[in-house]
């Protein structure tokens, strides 16, 4: 068990999958600082006390990976004007859980395959957002919080890219990704609002399960796609996101301790 596994949970009453993803050891023996990198699902349900606790963390940037309709339905409003808030308007489908539930005849295998396809497309579909995420950090806007609706897919890949750039081993990155299965309380989350996903969970829980789960096969699809399309994650970082060796060194100086 890594340090991050024991430090991630934040004691907030109405947060969903909100955690610190620092604490991991890097391949050269350094450690990712805690209190600098946060990841979350929707933050529209936060209590006033939760919002106060988040503001007390000193977060300076938020990268919200959600689509416009998601942001309208569940706005992020806890932060002040001193926090740099990034979002973008787009129409790609990757990461939109409810849109995968189109066929009433879908099987669990169908849904698993659909999620694999999401992870094959996500690095391309959201390259602009990930580029902005790194730009925020490189401009000194730390601590940073990245989020989407579930804090699992779009956010999960963002966290993968950050941890990889910092030199965290792949096994620890997978562990951080899979921690969603411990931290995301879907029973509580789906009880807060009535939605297509809520109804599907009641009627077809086995079919919905692959959508709600962080699965090592999904992350494997991401890495395989980056290997085939870009020559690996290092090349993707440098050539697509502009995170070259100098940028990675700057991030490591800011976010690693010896």
Whether the CB-CB separation of 222 and 126 falls below 8 Å is answered with: no
Q: Which of 63, 87, 120, 148 is catalytic?
A: 148
The token pair that represents 13 in the structure block: 């009453």
Beta strand pairing status for 61-64 and 144-147?
parallel
For the record, the structure tokens of 42 come out as 């929707």
Is 63 marked active-site?
no
CA distances from 193 to 105, 181, 183, 216 (A): 24, 21, 19, 29
Q: Could you identify the residue written with the tokens 């995968």? A: 100
List the Cα angle 91/92/98 in 5-degree steps: 95
Active site residues: 148
């Amino acid at each position: 068990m890594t340090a991050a596994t024991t430090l991630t949970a934040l004691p907030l009453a109405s947060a969903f999958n909100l955690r610190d993803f620092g604490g991991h050891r890097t391949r050269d023996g350094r450690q990712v600082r805690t209190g600098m990198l946060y990841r979350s699902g929707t933050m529209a349900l936060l209590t006033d006390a939760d919002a106060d606790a988040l503001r007390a963390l000193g977060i300076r940037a938020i990268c919200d990976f959600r689509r416009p309709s998601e942001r309208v339905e569940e706005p992020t409003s806890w932060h002040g004007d001193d926090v740099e808030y990034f979002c973008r308007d787009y129409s790609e489908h990757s990461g939109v859980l409810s849109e995968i539930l189109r066929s009433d005849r879908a099987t669990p295998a169908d849904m698993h395959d659909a999620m694999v396809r999401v992870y094959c497309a996500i690095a391309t579909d959201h390259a602009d957002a990930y580029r902005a995420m790194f730009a925020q950090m490189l401009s000194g806007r730390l601590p940073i919080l990245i989020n989407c609706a579930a804090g699992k897919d779009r956010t999960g890949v963002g966290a993968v890219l950050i941890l990889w750039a910092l030199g965290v081993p792949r096994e620890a990155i997978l562990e951080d990704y899979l921690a969603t299965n411990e931290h995301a309380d879907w029973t509580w989350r789906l009880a807060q609002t009535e939605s297509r996903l809520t109804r599907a969970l009641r009627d077809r829980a086995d079919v919905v399960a692959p959508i709600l789960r962080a699965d090592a096969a999904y992350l494997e699809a991401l890495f395989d796609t980056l290997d085939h399309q870009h020559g690996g994650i290092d090349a993707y970082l440098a050539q697509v996101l502009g995170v070259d060796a100098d940028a990675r060194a700057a991030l490591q100086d800011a976010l690693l301790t010896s």
